[in-house]
């Protein structure tokens, strides 16, 4: 497995191209913005982009979907059904953040309507990409339809905005719930073994073991829930 990371948008989001070293089959997880770098990398490496997988629908994770889908029209667009309303609201998301319509272009936030999902992924399904197998796990709490992707042979989990190095995702946005996020992380991420590498939607990688020991939201140091 080869993971190439592109830090994108003002939110420093980690867009990833993940490919099978044996076959060149690849997925792009969370294309944050239109980027010649991502498309160029896929072409230069001769990768076969099978899918664009969206952990969730926030603009910094999906803003590049239309562009990459245009470059690679055969790639599927995959997300969880409960995330579709947020995903399709992409052009409105900056306005919900309080940005004024006349500011959108200057900020690079004048988003077009994103391409329709090819299909919706479900909790427990396995996405086969060459020799890689990504188990889809529904992990709500940051948003309603957030998913994480676990590759068990490679001991790697892509956690989007659920779990970060030393912290957790925001729960104050629409669809967010602190209690739901904490139980999702416990059931869907911390249930993996300690050596799993955690590749987060923002910031540096970590491991399940490190978070189990050090993350104050998981050790019980911060107990903000009911
Ligand atoms: Zn988010
Ligand atoms: Zn994010």
From residue 33, give the alpha-carbon distance in Å to each of 11, 112, 165, 176: 11, 11, 23, 23
**Dihedral sign from CA coordinates of 217, 145, 12, 153:** positive
Tokens of 21: 């070293």
Query: What domains lie within the chain, and their CATH numbers?
Result: 2-219 (3.60.15.10)
Q: Report the b/e string of 174-185 with b at 16+ CB within 10 A.
A: ebbbbebbbebb
Distance 46 CA to ligand 1 centre (A): 30
Distance 32 CA to ligand 2 centre (A): 9
Sequence-distant (≥ 6) Cβ neighbours of residue 194 within 8 angstroms: 207, 208, 209, 212
Continuous H helices in the chain:
36-44, 59-62, 65-71, 84-88, 93-96, 178-184, 208-214, 216-219
User: pLDDT tens string for the chain (226 positions)?
Assistant: 999 999 999 899 999 999 999 999 999 999 999 999 999 999 999 999 999 999 999 999 999 999 999 999 999 999 999 999 999 999 999 999 889 999 999 988 999 999 999 999 999 999 999 999 999 999 999 999 999 999 999 999 999 999 999 999 999 999 999 999 999 999 999 999 999 999 999 999 999 999 999 999 999 877 665 5
Closest-approaching ligand to the CA atom of 146: 1
**Rounded CA gap, 88 and 116, in Å?**
8
Distance 69 CA to ligand 1 centre (A): 21
Sequence-distant (≥ 6) Cβ neighbours of residue 98 within 8 angstroms: none
Closest-approaching ligand to the CA atom of 56: 1
Burial class of 40 by CB neighbour count within 10 A (0 to 12, 13 to 18, 19+): exposed
Distance 22 CA to ligand 1 centre (A): 32
- pTM across the whole model: 0.96
Count of Cβ atoms closer than 10 Å to residue 219 Cβ: 12
Closest-approaching ligand to the CA atom of 60: 2
Distance 22 CA to ligand 2 centre (A): 31
Question: Which residues lie near ion ligand 1 (Cβ < 5 Å)?
Answer: 58, 161
Distance 83 CA to ligand 1 centre (A): 11
Backbone angles phi, psi at 119, to 5 degrees: -160, 170
Closest-approaching ligand to the CA atom of 83: 1
């Amino acid at each position: 497995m080869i993971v190439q990371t592109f830090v994108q948008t003002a939110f420093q989001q980690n867009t990833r191209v993940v490919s099978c070293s044996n076959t060149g089959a690849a997925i792009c997880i969370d294309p944050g913005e239109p980027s010649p770098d991502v498309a160029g990398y896929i072409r230069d490496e001769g990768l076969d982009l099978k899918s664009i997988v969206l952990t969730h629908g926030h603009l910094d994770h999906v803003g590049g979907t239309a562009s990459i889908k245009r470059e690679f029209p055969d790639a599927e667009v995959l997300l969880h059904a409960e995330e579709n309303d947020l995903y399709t609201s992409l052009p409105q998301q900056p306005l919900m953040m309080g940005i004024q319509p006349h500011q959108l272009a200057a900020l690079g936030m004048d988003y077009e309507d994103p391409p329709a999902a090819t299909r919706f992924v479900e909790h427990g399904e396995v996405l086969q990409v060459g020799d890689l197998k990504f188990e889809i796990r529904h992990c709500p709490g940051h948003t309603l339809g957030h998913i994480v992707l676990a590759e068990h042979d490679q001991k790697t989990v892509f956690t989007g905005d659920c779990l970060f190095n030393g912290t957790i995702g925001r729960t104050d946005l629409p669809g967010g719930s602190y209690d739901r996020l904490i139980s999702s992380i416990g059931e869907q991420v911390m249930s993996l073994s300690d050596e799993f590498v955690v590749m987060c939607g923002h910031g540096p990688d970590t491991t399940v073991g490190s978070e189990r020991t050090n993350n104050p939201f998981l050790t019980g140091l911060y107990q903000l829930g009911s």
